[in-house]
Amino acid sequence: MDNIKYMYLSKLFLIVLVIFQVSGCATQANQDPLENFNRAIYKFNDVADGAIVKPISKGYKNITPTFIVKGVNNFFNNIRDVVTVINELLQGKIEYAANDTGRILVNSTIGLLGFIDVHSMNGGERRKEDFGQTLGYWGVGQGAYLVLPFIGPSTTRDAVGFVTDTLAFDPISYINNVRGRNQVRILQFIDARTELLNASAIMDEASLDPYAFQRDAYLQYREALVKDSPSGEIDYTDTANSDYNFEEYTEESTIKSTTENCTNKLTTENCKPQKVSQIK
């Protein structure tokens, strides 16, 4: 186990070195110096999503009872809260870290390992922090824009954050059984994609160049998160709202979602607006 962790950390160190070398190529005037590469990955993701990922997610949603789909999503959100607490501590947000630790304890016990979001049902707020935000909080710039295979939009800073969160902070990475860990990761990926079914046509509807639309929206969104939003509120897209009912996927719903959901952002997370407090 120690050797595996050492290997992971060694790879993480190499990735950090390479990524920050690339980030030096980005300027304020050109945050997408790797545009040709990124467009190729974007096209790959689009084809893979249409041929494999989206059909699987639609099938999962159609054959699985709604309460189970929601329970699975709550379970993964509860795990994600662990990553949030760690990053809140790294940013010195002690009060929020204490509150979110309480959320985890309540949902993991009374909420049956997080399958029921008891904390949100009783008016609790869900905050989300990641290591990319932590780096930004301490002054690290976004760097170059990146599109990651299967993951989607990112930056050099957020790519480092994603790898760090996944390998070091996410409890799923500490499952010793490799097969079991991989199965949990696959279910987590399907769960995340299922929540985006109603939003998958937004970019095509909103812009003649979906790639540029996604890039610009993502960069602005992430910058707002790092600054904890000038207004003190961020519209997160997750199921902390107990009224979330996984609206049936239809072509009409995707058109409607262009005016109601994610008009200013596209992420790999959920796509139903929800106000979540951030530090002002």
Residue 188: is its pLDDT beyond 90? Answer: yes
Residue 197 — very low, low, confident or very high, per pLDDT cuts 50/70/90? confident
42-46, 91-95, 120-124, 263-267: range with lowest mean pLDDT: 263-267
Nearest to 132 by CA among 171, 96, 160, 166: 160
- Whether residue 78 contacts residue 104, with contact meaning beta carbons closer than 8 Å, is answered with yes
Dump pLDDT digits (tens) for 227-276.
Answer: 887 544 444 344 334 343 434 444 454 444 444 444 444 444 444 444 44
Q: In this predicted structure, what is the pLDDT of residue 189?
A: 95
Residue 269: C-alpha distances to residues 15, 131, 177, 263 (Å): 23, 16, 26, 14
Alpha carbons 114 and 237: distance in angstroms, whole number: 18
The confidence score (pLDDT) of residue 15 equals 57
**Mean pLDDT calculated for residue range 186-191:** 95
Asked if 100 and 81 touch (Cβ cutoff 8 Å), the reply is yes
Q: Specify the range with the lowest mean pLDDT, choosing from 14-23, 111-120, 218-227.
A: 14-23
Give pLDDT, residue 213: 87
Of 74-78, 94-98, 136-140, 210-214, the one with minimum mean pLDDT is 210-214
- Give the rounded percent of residues in the chain with a pLDDT score beyond 90: 61
